[in-house]
């Protein structure tokens, strides 16, 4: 059996070996990177790989055959056994058949003997027959027993055999398992080896390629960087250049632009001017054509008419507007004039009040004055009395000093009598004619003050009206009011006489005026009006005077006291004269008298004291005397 | 109280459990009363699967918990050897298949309540694809031993059909397993010890009939394997009768039985009628007559790809018949004729086939007495062939030279094939 086992095992194994070399090359399934540099190594690698794959395939085949050999051997064994079994079965069957035949023969014999046995009557015969019969039966039984024994032995053998085959099978199975394991082991080892190799190869390759790629990459990167840097620097330079260029260009452009602008403006203005001219010409032409076209075209005329009517309407409306506005203005003027009147009234009232208050103040002042004066006079009287008494005491002859002021009551009285209304009244008598003449003169002489336009406007008017207007304008420009006109005429007429004289004190104006009135009145008839050449300086002086007088009148109006202050020196002398009733010498005398009197008084008081002392001492003396007397009395008594 | 121990460098806050983990732990603890699983996220499911108790009732977990760690734990707990690669890497499938197999293998007729099996059906019908049943227990013996004590011959017992001596009835089960694709059966008894009886390794006629009906009712079955079960011609015919019109059966395996020529005839009929792709009749009693029937089927267009007639008694009669049929056939890829007492006659016939036929990929003629002449003929034929990648002529008394030349051709053909595949 084992021989059979071994033979087939070795046979294919041997047959496998020579095939190894001849096995066809197989294209490696794994693809290798095509690399022209490593072509030589690649080929060797490929060969290696092929060898590897060959080896592995061989291994696989060898080992599988090695394993399956057992199976086929098992099959063969099984077949053999089957044949054996069948053979033994056949032998057994034959034997059994033989046995059956022989036993049948014997059985037949027995049956036959049974028949003969029945025929036999003789006991001995019967016995013999029975014996033989029994022998036969015994033989049969012995045969059977033998057969059974044989069979049982065979069965035992079979059993043993079966056990043996089972053991064999077990061994074979064990072998199978062992070989399978071995196969697995060897295969795994082979695979592992290959894997390791391929891994190392791969790793090397990848490392090499990686290093190469890295190097390439590095190189390329450095190149790239260099290139980029160069490009960058270039670009920067370019940028700078361009910037400069741009700057220049900008400046140039700006200049150019300005020039162009100027030129253009010039041309534009020119063009505009031309255009306007053209327009004007065109309009003229148009107008001309219009004029021409007016006559023939009826439609145009109607349109123009319509336009005219429209314009008339417009004018009408404008006139209406004008009327309305005039009315409004008139109303406004009325209201304003009313307001003006009211304010004028108010103003006059206020002036009246002011006058009234001034008069009141004056009266009050006067009363005060008189009161003070009277008091003073009394005091003076008193002092004089006292002085006379003192003089009497002193034994000096007293005389009443001369006191002129005691008779009249101060300088205030004559001033209040100044007759202002009279003065005005006199003025009102100034002739209208004279005034007119003065006015005309003024107008003629001071014509240069008027504006040329006014003169032009006035030219067509009558002379009288002209003078009136001129007068107004003049007065307005000079700041003279209508009320002042008589004053002015007066002044002017007076001026001629005063020309030679020096200007009088301002304070004495009123008196001067009064004088002037008299003079003017005298000179009125005889003398001519002022000489033309002297009008202007006269006017100038008048104006100056007026300004001053206005200021002064303002002062006068504000405080009456101030006018009085002008006579302060007067008052002072007046009052001083009152104060100086007692002269200086007298005062000295008074002082000396007082001193003397004081001394005298002291002496007198001393005397009075001494007198009282004296009186006291006298009284004491008296007392003491009394006492002495008493004592004397008592002592007298005692002595008794 | 927690304290940070300065000496412990591995102390971290992570040892404090998260609230979510606590919640999940709570779910795990109360899973039987309130199973919450489908609403959770994948990671939470994993968490739960790792912690669920393995003693939970199957009716709760079977259709709720998806394939994963839980079923792995179940499998590991039940069985020491767990090769999940045989079960499409599905632990759940593995668990249910093996669980059901265990139940069936320990099923004692007339003793165990069939409800035990039927209860499992709704739980596992979605997951069971294959049943590999290695034993079927007979009913408990009646006290009539003397009648049964004739076990030396295989044929003698076949007529015995005592009432009640039946195995598990597959009729109740196969109908309901809607995903079953493979069924491996053996009517045997694993640990019989000294109580050995031939009867234990046989199927009764009633068993056979019920099994045949059950097979017919199982429409999804693709592979049926009934081996080492003492099937003789009668039972084979019965089974084939019911399998004739099966819509999905592709693989049939009656290896290690007692099928003779009439059974082979039935099988030949089956080959012509069904779409069978793989037929394994190894180690039976088919002789030349039966082989002729099968060869007849082969000569007609069929879908058969692989035929295994190893260890039969085909002899040259059957071998020549099959070789003749192979001349007309161009679908068969694998042919196994090992151990069939064939001689150089068959080798000659087959060498003709090898010259003409270009579809056959592997042929096994081992353990036949082909002789040197047959070997030479084969060698000659193989030199013209490009399709055969496996040719087993070991133990055939063939000359070594021809063997090596044949092997060479085979290897070149292999490399060519690989080239083609690579392309």
Count of all residues that appear for chain A in the document: 640
In a domain, B286, yes or no: yes
Distance from CA of B341 to the nearest CA of A (A): 9
Interatomic CA distance for residues A370 and A582, integer angstroms: 22
For residue A477, pLDDT beyond 80: no
Residues A87 and A165 in one domain: yes
- Average pLDDT rounded to a whole number, residues A313-328: 94
In a domain, B70, yes or no: no
For residue A528, pLDDT beyond 80: no
For residue A33, pLDDT beyond 50: no
Q: Is B196 on the interface with A (CB under 8 A)?
A: no
Residues A60 and A176 in one domain: yes
Using alpha carbons, select from B260, B249, B254, B154 the residue that is nearest to residue B201. Answer: B154
Contacts of A1 (CB under 8 A, 6+ apart): A77, A168
Contacts of A295 (CB under 8 A, 6+ apart): none
High-pLDDT (> 70) share of chain A, %: 69
- Average pLDDT rounded to a whole number, residues A559-584: 66
For residue A23, pLDDT beyond 90: no
For residue A581, pLDDT beyond 80: no
Of the candidates B311, B338, B407, which has its C-beta nearest A19's C-beta? B407
Higher pLDDT, A405 or B391: B391
Q: Is B336 on the interface with A (CB under 8 A)?
A: no
Interatomic CA distance for residues A113 and A128, integer angstroms: 11
Interatomic CA distance for residues A526 and A536, integer angstroms: 23
Chain A residue numbers touching B341 (CB-CB < 8 A): 79
Distance from CA of A24 to the nearest CA of B (A): 7
**pLDDT given for residue B138 in this prediction:** 83
- What is the bridge-based pairing of β-strands B223-226 and B251-253? parallel
Q: Which of A7, A18, A29, A72 should be substituted to probe chain B, the one whose Cβ sees the most B Cβ atoms within 10 Å?
A: A72
**pLDDT given for residue A336 in this prediction:** 94
Interatomic CA distance for residues A487 and A475, integer angstroms: 13
Q: Which of A5, A7, A14, A24 should be substituted to probe chain B, the one whose Cβ sees the most B Cβ atoms within 10 Å?
A: A24
Q: Judge: B422–A27 Cβ closer than 8 Å, yes or no.
A: yes
What the block records as the tokens of B238 is 């019965």
Query: What's the pLDDT band for A458 if we cut at 50, 70, 90?
Result: low
Distance from CA of A76 to the nearest CA of B (A): 6
Higher pLDDT, A222 or B9: A222
DSSP state, A580?
Answer: T
Chain B residue numbers touching A73 (CB-CB < 8 A): 395
Using alpha carbons, select from A107, A109, A101 the residue that is nearest to residue A129. Answer: A109
Residues A479 and A628 in one domain: no
Q: Judge: A78–B311 Cβ closer than 8 Å, yes or no.
A: yes
Residue with tokens 């009432």: B163
Contacts of B283 (CB under 8 A, 6+ apart): B255, B256, B257, B310, B311, B312
Residues A544 and A600 in one domain: no
Q: Quick one: how far is CA B202 from the chain centroid? A: 18
Chain B residue numbers touching A12 (CB-CB < 8 A): 394, 403, 407
- Average pLDDT rounded to a whole number, residues A76-104: 88
Distance from CA of B404 to the nearest CA of A (A): 5
Of the candidates A18, A26, A73, which has its C-beta nearest B404's C-beta? A18
- Average pLDDT rounded to a whole number, residues A58-66: 83
**pLDDT given for residue A512 in this prediction:** 46
**Shortest CA distance from B412: residue in chain A:** A24
**pLDDT given for residue A215 in this prediction:** 94
Count of Cβ atoms closer than 10 Å to residue A109 Cβ: 15
State pLDDT tens for residues A339-378: 999 999 999 999 999 999 999 999 998 899 888 888 888 8
**pLDDT given for residue A8 in this prediction:** 37
Which residues of chain B, if any, have pLDDT below 50? 144-163
pTM: predicted TM-score of the whole model, two decimal places: 0.55
Contacts of A532 (CB under 8 A, 6+ apart): A441, A444, A445
**pLDDT given for residue A498 in this prediction:** 60
Chain A residue numbers touching B411 (CB-CB < 8 A): 19, 23-24, 61
Using alpha carbons, select from A84, B161, B257 the residue that is nearest to residue B267. Answer: B257
State the count of interchain CB pairs (< 8 A) between A and B.
Answer: 60
Comparing A97-101, A565-569, B169-173, B339-343, which segment has the lowest mean pLDDT? Answer: A565-569
- Average pLDDT rounded to a whole number, residues A174-179: 90
Interatomic CA distance for residues A5 and A601, integer angstroms: 199
Using alpha carbons, select from B115, B209, B207 the residue that is nearest to residue B167. Answer: B207
In a domain, A92, yes or no: yes
Residues A547 and A596 in one domain: no
Higher pLDDT, A142 or A456: A142
Domain CATH number, residue B237: 3.80.10.10
Chain A residue numbers touching B367 (CB-CB < 8 A): 72, 75-76, 79
Residue-by-residue DSSP string for A549-576: HHHHHHHHHH-HHHHHHTTHHHHHHHHH
Residues A475 and A612 in one domain: no
For residue A530, pLDDT beyond 90: no
Q: Judge: B411–A72 Cβ closer than 8 Å, yes or no.
A: no
Choose the most confident range, by mean pLDDT, from A30-34, A230-234, A572-576, B398-402. Answer: A230-234
Interatomic CA distance for residues B389 and B409, integer angstroms: 8
**pLDDT given for residue B74 in this prediction:** 92
Q: Judge: A19–B392 Cβ closer than 8 Å, yes or no.
A: no
Owning domain of residue A612? 583-635
Owning domain of residue B305? 92-139+177-422
| ∠ CA A65-A68-A72, rounded to 5° | 120
Contacts of B412 (CB under 8 A, 6+ apart): A24
Q: Judge: A73–B395 Cβ closer than 8 Å, yes or no.
A: yes
**pLDDT given for residue A550 in this prediction:** 65
State pLDDT tens for residues A413-439: 544 444 444 444 444 445 666 777 777
Number of domains forming the structure of chain A: 3
- What is the bridge-based pairing of β-strands B334-336 and B251-253? unpaired
In a domain, B191, yes or no: yes
Residues A169 and A222 in one domain: yes
**pLDDT given for residue B183 in this prediction:** 93
Q: Is B394 on the interface with A (CB under 8 A)?
A: yes
Residues A107 and A221 in one domain: yes
Residues A86 and A219 in one domain: yes
Query: What's the pLDDT band for A640 if we cut at 50, 70, 90?
Result: low
Q: Judge: A76–B419 Cβ closer than 8 Å, yes or no.
A: no
Interatomic CA distance for residues A100 and A144, integer angstroms: 10
What the block records as the tokens of A594 is 């007082």
Residue B254 CB burial class (10 angstroms; 0-12, 13-18, ≥19) = buried
For residue A506, pLDDT beyond 90: no
For chain B, the C-alpha Rg in angstroms (whole number) is 28
Q: Judge: B404–A68 Cβ closer than 8 Å, yes or no.
A: no
Distance from CA of B170 to the nearest CA of A (A): 33
**pLDDT given for residue A391 in this prediction:** 81
Instruction: State which of A208, A238, A268 marks the end of a domain.
Output: A238
**pLDDT given for residue B170 in this prediction:** 87
State pLDDT tens for residues A106-156: 888 888 877 777 776 677 877 887 888 788 888 888 988 998 998 999 899
Instruction: State which of A186, A207, A238 marks the end of a domain.
Output: A238
Q: Judge: B394–A72 Cβ closer than 8 Å, yes or no.
A: yes
Higher pLDDT, A509 or A10: A509
Average pLDDT, chain A: 77
Contacts of B24 (CB under 8 A, 6+ apart): B40, B44, B47, B48, B51
**Shortest CA distance from B395: residue in chain A:** A8
The three-state (H, E, C) secondary structure of A402-460, written as one string = CCHHHCCCCCHHHHHCCCHHHHHHHHHCCCHHHHHHHHHHHHHHHHHHCCHHHHHHHCC
B117-144 exposure pattern, b = at least 16 Cβ within 10 A, e = fewer: beebbebbbebbbbbebebbbbeeeeee
Q: Judge: B407–A12 Cβ closer than 8 Å, yes or no.
A: yes
Interatomic CA distance for residues A484 and A231, integer angstroms: 104
Residues A460 and A588 in one domain: no
Interatomic CA distance for residues B158 and A113, integer angstroms: 41
Number of domains forming the structure of chain B: 1
Residues A85 and A228 in one domain: yes
Query: What's the pLDDT band for A401 if we cut at 50, 70, 90?
Result: low
**pLDDT given for residue A295 in this prediction:** 62
Q: Is B260 on the interface with A (CB under 8 A)?
A: no
Q: Judge: B400–A24 Cβ closer than 8 Å, yes or no.
A: no
What the block records as the tokens of A284 is 């003229």
Distance from CA of B333 to the nearest CA of A (A): 20
Q: Is B319 on the interface with A (CB under 8 A)?
A: no
Chain A residue numbers touching B412 (CB-CB < 8 A): 24
Distance from CA of A37 to the nearest CA of B (A): 28
Q: Is B404 on the interface with A (CB under 8 A)?
A: yes
Q: Judge: A12–B403 Cβ closer than 8 Å, yes or no.
A: yes
Residue A430 CB burial class (10 angstroms; 0-12, 13-18, ≥19) = buried
Helix (H, G, I), strand (E, B) or coil at A259: helix
**pLDDT given for residue A405 in this prediction:** 62
Report residue B336: phi and psi, to 5°.
-120, 115
Higher pLDDT, A46 or A246: A246
The three-state (H, E, C) secondary structure of chain B, written as one string = CCCCCCCCCCCCHHHCCCHHHHHHHHHHHCCCCCCCCCCCCHHHHHHHHHHCCCCCCHHHHCCCCCCCHHHHHHHHHHCCCCCHHHHCCCHHHHHHHHHHHHHHHCCCCCCCCHHHHHHHHHHHCCCCCEEEECCCCCCCCCCCHHHHCCCCCCCHHHHCCCCCCCCCCCHHHHCCCCCCCEEEECCCCCCCHHHCCHHHHCCCHHHHHHHHHHHHHCCCCCEEEECCCCCCHHHHHHHHHHHCCCCCCCEEECCCCCCCHHHHHHHHHHHHHCCCCEEECCCCCCEHHHHHHHHHHHHCCCCCCEEECCCCECHHHHHHHHHHHHHHCCCCCEEECCCCCCCHHHHHHHHHHHHHCCCCCEEECCCCCCHHHHHHHHHHHHHCCCCCCEEECCCCCCCHHHHHHHHHHHHHHHHHHHHHHHC
State pLDDT tens for residues A545-558: 777 766 665 555 44
Binding-site residues on chain A for chain B (CB distance < 8 A):
4, 8, 11-12, 14-16, 18-19, 22-24, 26-27, 29, 61, 65, 68-69, 72-73, 75-76, 78-79
**pLDDT given for residue A133 in this prediction:** 79
Of the candidates A23, A27, A76, which has its C-beta nearest B411's C-beta? A23
**pLDDT given for residue B422 in this prediction:** 85
Residues A487 and A589 in one domain: no
**pLDDT given for residue B1 in this prediction:** 55
Comparing A28-32, A131-135, A609-613, B263-267, which segment has the lowest mean pLDDT? Answer: A28-32
Q: Judge: B338–A72 Cβ closer than 8 Å, yes or no.
A: yes
Residue B154 CB burial class (10 angstroms; 0-12, 13-18, ≥19) = middle
In a domain, A126, yes or no: yes
**pLDDT given for residue A143 in this prediction:** 86
**Shortest CA distance from A15: residue in chain B:** B404
**Shortest CA distance from A77: residue in chain B:** B367
For residue A466, pLDDT beyond 90: no
What the block records as the tokens of B153 is 């011959």
Q: Quick one: how far is CA B190 from the chain centroid? A: 18
High-pLDDT (> 90) share of chain A, %: 28
What the block records as the tokens of B189 is 């008894």
- What is the bridge-based pairing of β-strands B251-253 and B278-280? parallel
**pLDDT given for residue A592 in this prediction:** 87
- Average pLDDT rounded to a whole number, residues A448-454: 65
Higher pLDDT, B250 or A48: B250
Distance from CA of B59 to the nearest CA of A (A): 42
Query: What's the pLDDT band for A624 if we cut at 50, 70, 90?
Result: very high
For residue A517, pLDDT beyond 70: no
């Amino acid at each position: 059996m084992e021989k059979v086992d071994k033979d087939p095992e070795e046979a294919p194994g041997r047959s496998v070996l020579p095939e190894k070399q001849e096995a066809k090359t197989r294209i490696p399934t794994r693809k290798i990177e095509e690399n022209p540099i490593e072509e030589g190594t690649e080929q060797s690698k490929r060969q290696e790989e092929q060898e590897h794959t060959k080896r592995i395939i061989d291994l696989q085949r060898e080992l599988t055959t090695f394993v399956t050999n057992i199976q086929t051997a098992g099959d063969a064994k099984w077949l053999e056994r089957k044949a054996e079994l069948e053979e033994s079965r056949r032998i057994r069957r034959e034997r059994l058949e033989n046995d059956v035949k022989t036993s049948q023969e014997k059985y037949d014999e027995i049956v036959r003997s049974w028949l003969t046995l029945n025929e036999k009557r003789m006991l001995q015969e019967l016995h013999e027959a029975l014996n033989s019969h029994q022998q036969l039966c015994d033989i049969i039984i012995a045969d059977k027993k033998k057969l059974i024994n044989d069979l049982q032995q065979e069965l035992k053998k079979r059993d043993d055999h079966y056990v043996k085959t089972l053991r064999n099978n077990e061994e074979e199975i064990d072998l199978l398992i062992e070989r399978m394991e071995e196969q697995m082991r060897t295969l795994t080892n082979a695979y592992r080896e290959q894997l390791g190799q391929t891994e190392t190869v791969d790793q090397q390759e990848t490392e090499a390629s990686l290093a190469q790629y890295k190097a390439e990459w590095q190189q390329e990167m450095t190149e790239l960087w260099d290139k980029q840097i160069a490009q960058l620097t270039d670009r920067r330079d370019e940028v700078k250049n361009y910037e400069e260029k741009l700057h220049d260009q900008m400046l140039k452009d700006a200049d150019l632009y300005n020039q162009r602008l100027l030129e253009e403006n010039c041309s534009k203005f020119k063009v505009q001017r031309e255009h306007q001219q053209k327009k004007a010409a065109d309009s003229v032409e148009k107008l001309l054509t219009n004029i021409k076209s007016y006559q023939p075209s009826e439609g145009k005329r109607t349109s123009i008419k319509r336009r005219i009517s429209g314009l008339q309407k417009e004018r009408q409306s404008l006139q209406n507007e004008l009327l309305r506005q005039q009315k409004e203005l008139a109303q406004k003027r009325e209201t304003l004039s009313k307001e003006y009147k009211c304010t004028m009234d108010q103003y006059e009232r206020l002036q009246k009040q002011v006058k009234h208050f001034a008069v009141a103040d004056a009266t009050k002042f006067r009363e005060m004055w008189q009161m003070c004066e009277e008091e003073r006079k009394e005091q003076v009287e008193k002092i004089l009395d006292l002085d006379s008494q003192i003089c009497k005491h002193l034994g000096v002859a007293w005389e009443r000093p001369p006191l002129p002021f005691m008779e009249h009551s101060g300088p205030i009285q004559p001033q209040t009598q100044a007759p202002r209304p009279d003065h005005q009244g006199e003025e009102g008598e100034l002739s209208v004619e004279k005034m007119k003449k003065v006015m005309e003169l003024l107008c003629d002489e001071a014509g240069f003050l008027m504006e040329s336009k006014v003169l032009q406007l006035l030219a067509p008017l009558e002379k009288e009206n002209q003078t009136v207007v001129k007068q107004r304008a003049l007065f307005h420009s000079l700041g003279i009011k209508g009320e002042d006109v008589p004053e002015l005429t007066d002044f002017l007429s007076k001026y001629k006489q005063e020309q030679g004289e020096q200007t009088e004190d301002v304070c004495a104006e009123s008196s001067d005026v009064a004088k002037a009135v008299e003079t003017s009145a005298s000179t009125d008839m005889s003398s001519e009006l002022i000489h033309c050449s002297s009008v202007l300086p006269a006017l100038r002086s008048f104006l100056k005077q007026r300004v001053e007088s206005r200021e002064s009148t303002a002062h006068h109006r504000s405080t009456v006291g101030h006018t009085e202050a002008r006579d302060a020196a007067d008052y002072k002398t007046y009052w001083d004269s009152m104060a100086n009733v007692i002269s200086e010498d007298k005062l000295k005398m008074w002082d000396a008298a007082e001193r003397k009197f004081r001394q005298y008084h002291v002496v007198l008081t001393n005397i009075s004291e001494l007198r009282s002392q004296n009186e006291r001492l006298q009284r004491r003396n008296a007392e003491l005397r009394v006492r002495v007397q008493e004592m004397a009395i008592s002592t007298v008594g005692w002595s008794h | 109280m927690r304290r940070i121990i300065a000496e412990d460098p591995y102390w971290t806050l992570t040892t404090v459990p998260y609230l979510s983990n606590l919640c999940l732990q709570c779910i795990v603890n109360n899973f039987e009363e309130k199973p919450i699983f489908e609403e959770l996220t994948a990671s939470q499911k994993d968490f739960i699967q790792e912690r669920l108790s393995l003693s939970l009732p199957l009716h709760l977990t079977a259709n709720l918990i998806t394939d994963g760690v839980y079923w792995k734990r179940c499998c590991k707990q039940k069985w020491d050897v767990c090769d999940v690669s045989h079960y499409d890497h599905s632990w759940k499938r593995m668990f249910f298949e093996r669980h059901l197999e265990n139940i069936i293998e320990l099923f004692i007729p007339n003793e165990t309540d069939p409800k035990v099996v039927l209860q499992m059906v709704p739980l596992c019908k979605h997951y069971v694809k294959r049943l590999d049943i290695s034993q079927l227990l007979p009913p408990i013996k009646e006290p009539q031993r003397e009648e049964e004590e004739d076990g030396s011959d295989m044929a003698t017992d076949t007529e015995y059909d005592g009432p009640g001596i039946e195995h598990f009835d597959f009729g109740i089960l196969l109908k309901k397993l809607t995903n079953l694709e493979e069924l491996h059966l053996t009517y045997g008894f694993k640990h019989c010890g000294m109580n050995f009886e031939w009867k234990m390794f046989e199927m009764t006629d009633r068993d056979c009939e019920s099994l045949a009906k059950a097979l017919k009712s199982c429409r999804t079955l693709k592979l049926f394997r009934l081996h080492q079960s003492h099937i003789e011609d009668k039972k084979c015919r019965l089974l084939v009768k019911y399998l004739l019109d099966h819509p999905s059966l592709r693989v049939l395996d009656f290896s290690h039985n007692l099928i003779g020529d009439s059974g082979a005839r039935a099988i030949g009929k089956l080959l012509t009628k069904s779409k069978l792709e793989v037929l394994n009749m190894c180690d039976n009693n088919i002789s030349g007559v039966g082989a002729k029937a099968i060869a007849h089927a082969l000569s007609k267009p069929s879908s058969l790809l692989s035929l295994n007639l190893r260890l039969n008694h085909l002899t040259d009669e059957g071998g020549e018949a099959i070789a003749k049929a192979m001349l007309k056939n161009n679908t068969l890829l694998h042919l196994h004729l090992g151990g069939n007492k064939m001689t150089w006659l068959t080798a000659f016939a087959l060498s003709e086939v090898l010259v003409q036929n270009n579809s056959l990929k592997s042929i096994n003629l081992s353990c036949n007495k082909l002789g040197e002449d047959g070997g030479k003929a084969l060698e000659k034929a193989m030199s013209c062939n490009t399709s055969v990648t496996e040719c087993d002529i070991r133990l055939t008394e063939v000359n070594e030279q021809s063997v090596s030349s044949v092997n060479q051709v085979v290897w070149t053909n292999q490399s060519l094939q690989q080239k083609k595949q690579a392309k």
